[in-house]
Structure 1
Amino acid sequence: MRSQPSVTRRAGGERPWRVRLRDPVTGLLFVLPMLVLFVVFRFLPLAGSVGMSFTDYRINGSWDPVGLDNYQRLLSDPVFLDSLQVTLIYAAIYVPLTVGVALGTALLLNTVVFATGLFRGVLFLPYVTSFVLAGVIWRWVYEFDGLINGLLAKVGFEPIGFLQESSLVLPSLAVVAAWRGFGYSMLILIAGLKSIPDSFLEAARVDGASTWQRFRFVVLPHLRPVLFFVLVIETIAAFQVFDTIYVMTGGGPVRASYSLVYALFDQGFEFFDFGYAATIGIALFVIILVISLIQRKLLDRETT
């Protein structure tokens, strides 16, 4: 004889509130470990940095409240303003370069029908290389007696100071970061391309659409959400650049590569001005948030 279900439904088929609560509680239990990690290692440090930015925090743990003094100092600090300008210029070079290379390689690999795993693995390999190791390798490539200048000397050209000239140091660093980091965005864009139904592209081909028209009117609209995500993560990476600069230039020449994170590092770990360093970190967070919102607004406008 069949056993009766242990949970009875109320009139109208409505389940008891304990049963309705079971699913969200179960889901919460599954995400709880990651939620705890996020709160402990992300939210609490952010909250602590906000509080520290309103203090004169010293290395011995003592502190004095200073109100908005750190923020007023920030707005009038020429070092901070110069580092902000350097970071904006670097991001303007790095983000289009990295996204363009990632999109181009993703489109190319999407058409490859043989050894696709091998090609993806080779192109993704630089991403698993540390920024420090990449910086050491590329510093040798850029040196006066390095690889590039050695090849230029063989054809009669004078050596170029890639890391010694203020006008060349940021593009040179952006190339290193793009070489190291484009593989991650490439895989994301490939996944986005694979989600586009083949029937859409085939219909456009039958209608006589050219390769550019198929990309412009079929591929790009479907790829826009993925492209927005790639733009955001690469913009964040550009504004957080530090390792490559620390290894290759040390912020030089003449602070031509002195980024916001490098300024934060100097204030916190060279001058031990932790309150002001926290203020720079909060300013960096706000700048990234505003730029991400602007990017989303522009992409939504293009969509409509």
Structure 2
Amino acid sequence: MTTITKLPDPPTGGTKKAGTLAPVRKGQRIGDLKMALVFIFPAMIGFVVFFLIPTIRGVYLSFTEYSILGDPTWIGVKNYVSIFADELFWNSMAVTVQYVAINIGFQTVIALGLALLMHRVAKSTFIRGALLLPFFVANVIVALLWFWMLDYQLGIVNEVINWMGLPRIAFFGSEQWAIPTIAAVNVWRHMGYTALLIFAGLQAIPQHVYEVASLDGASPTRTFWGITIPLLRPVLVLVLVVTVIGSFQVFDTVAVTTGGGPINASRVIQMYIYQKAFTESDFGYASALSVILFVILALVAFIQMKFLKGNESDLD
């Protein structure tokens, strides 16, 4: 005869439903916060020491008359009043805007084309990596390389132009060509990195969206403008914000190649700030110029994010 032993019932207070997670206790949350602060603390020190404090000091110096040989003297908004009457400031802003327009226009279009090629044609990791090589070269090296290649007398580009029977071009020595040439150099260097950002956005678009469009008989052109561009908008806005801010801060390429010349044809705003601070030792005026540039960049970024709806996605 078989004996059936009855197992004791589990205590009611310790029962847990299958699939339910144990609640996170307050002490555990505090422990996670402390651990996160430990990792964030070194970065915060760097941010405060190298960004926040210099920014606050720069804003203060913008209201002073200050050279390296003396103490700051408070003069109020005199520097800002002088800036708005400064013809060189307005010229540098016009030159900078011209550079930004050329650089962003060509860089975005070329990068978008390269991203589409990487996404649909060039599947090789080697080819995709090769597009990034110019970005890994320092700006100064890139500027010197193109400065020698585009030299009026000995540059290989002008040698080819002369061999074709065309007149040589003073790429960096002409008022007409200086800014377009500098913009072209930076487009060549940054287009691979920009293409990689756009390519990452293309990878995030679901493939079934294109399959449905294909079943509906949509042409490649209609698919591009009706699906790819709208779904890629957040990434494109991010790219525009980053590249516009970076373009307004162009300095090293100009410093190495033209130095702001000929005359003032390539004197961008960063070059003008540098010359005021370290050539004329007018750090108060240079700080005021920097504050104005900071405000302009903040407004440009805000307008781009607001009106281009960079924080919204059609995938939601």
> Scaled by the length of structure 2, what TM-score is found?
0.87
Aligned equivalents of 1:22, 1:261: Cα separation in 2: 45
CA distance in structure 1 between the partners assigned to 2:302 and 2:221 by the alignment: 29
Q: How many residues align?
A: 293
Q: Provide the C-alpha distance between the structure 1 equivalents of 2:80 and 2:234, rounded to a whole number of angstroms.
A: 35
The match for 1:59 among 53, 61, 68 is 68
The C-alpha deviation readout for 1:76-108, integer Å capped at 9, x for no partner, is 111111101110111111111111111110111
What is the identity, as a one-letter code, of the residue corresponding to 1:155?
A: M
Name the SS of the counterpart of 1:47 in structure 2.
helix
* Higher helix fraction (1 or 2): 1
Q: Distance in 2 between matches of 1:137 and 1:68?
A: 43
Greater mean deviation of Cα atoms: 142-151 or 253-262? 142-151
Larger Rg: 2
Residues 14/196 of structure 1: CA separation in 2 closer, same or farther (3 Å cut): closer
1:113, 1:70 → 2: CA distance? 53
After TM superposition, give the deviation of residue 75 of structure 1 in Å: 0.8
Superimposed CA distance per residue, residues 2-48 of structure 1 (whole angstroms, 9 cap, x where no aligned partner) = xx99xxxxxxx987654444444433333222222222211111111
Q: Which residue of 2 aligns with 1:130?
A: 138
Answer yes or no: is 1:84 the counterpart of 2:109.
no
Find the aligned partners of 1:16 and 1:214 in 2 and give their Cα distance: 50
Match 1:291 to one of 297, 300, 308: 300
The 3 A distance-change label for structure 1 pair 122 and 77 is: same
Identity of aligned pairs, percent? Answer: 37
Equivalent position to 1:172, from 181, 187, 191: 181
Relative to structure 2, which stretch is displaced further, 48-57 or 28-37? 28-37
Residue 147 of structure 1 deviates from its aligned partner by: 1.8
Given candidates 202, 205, 215, the residue that maps to 1:206 is: 215
Taking a change above 3 Å as real, the CA distance of residues 259 and 27 of structure 1, as seen in their structure-2 partners, is same
Structure 2 CA distance for partners of 1:15 and 1:202, relative to 1, 3 Å: closer
> C-alpha displacement at 1:74, in angstroms?
0.9
Residue 199 of structure 2 is aligned to residue 190 of structure 1: yes
Could you tell me how far apart the structure 1 residues matched to 2:134 and 2:212 are? 37
Asked whether 1:224 is paired with 2:217, we answer no
2:269 aligned residue? 260
- 1:142 corresponds to: 150
TM-score, normalised relative to structure 1: 0.90
- Residue 125 of structure 2: which of 112, 117, 125 is its match? 117
> Could you list the runs of 5+ residues in structure 2 that have no partner in the other structure?
1-12, 15-21
Matching residue of 1:251: 260
Letter in 2 for 1:87: T
Determine the structure 2 residue equivalent to 1:50. Answer: 59
User: What are the superposed Cα offsets for residues 112-150 of structure 1, whole Å, 9 maximum, x if unpaired?
Assistant: 354x21112211100011111111111122222312221
In structure 1, list runs of 5 or more residues that go unmatched: 6-12
Q: How does 1:30-49 map to 2 (within 5 A)?
A: 30-49=39-58
CA distance change for structure 1 residues 303 and 18 in 2, over 3 Å: closer, same or farther? closer
Comparing 247-256 and 13-22, the one that deviates more:
13-22
Q: 1:113 to 1:269 in 2, by over 3 A?
A: closer
Task: Look up the SS of the partner of 2:131 in the other structure.
Answer: helix
Q: What per-residue deviation string (whole Å, max 9, x for no partner) do you get for residues 229-286 of structure 1? A: 1101110111101100011111011110000000010011101111111111111111
1:275 has 2:281 as partner: no
Letter in 2 for 1:229: L
Deviation at 1:191, TM superposition (A): 0.9
Q: Would the alpha carbon gap of residues 177 and 15 (structure 1) be closer, same or farther in structure 2, given more than 3 Å must change? A: closer
Q: In structure 1, what is the equivalent of residue 104 of structure 2?
A: 95
| Structure-2 separation of matches of 1:97 and 1:51 | 38
Q: Provide, for residues 146-182 of structure 1, a one-character-per-residue CA deviation record: whole Å limited to 9, x for no partner.
A: 1222111112111112222212111111000111112
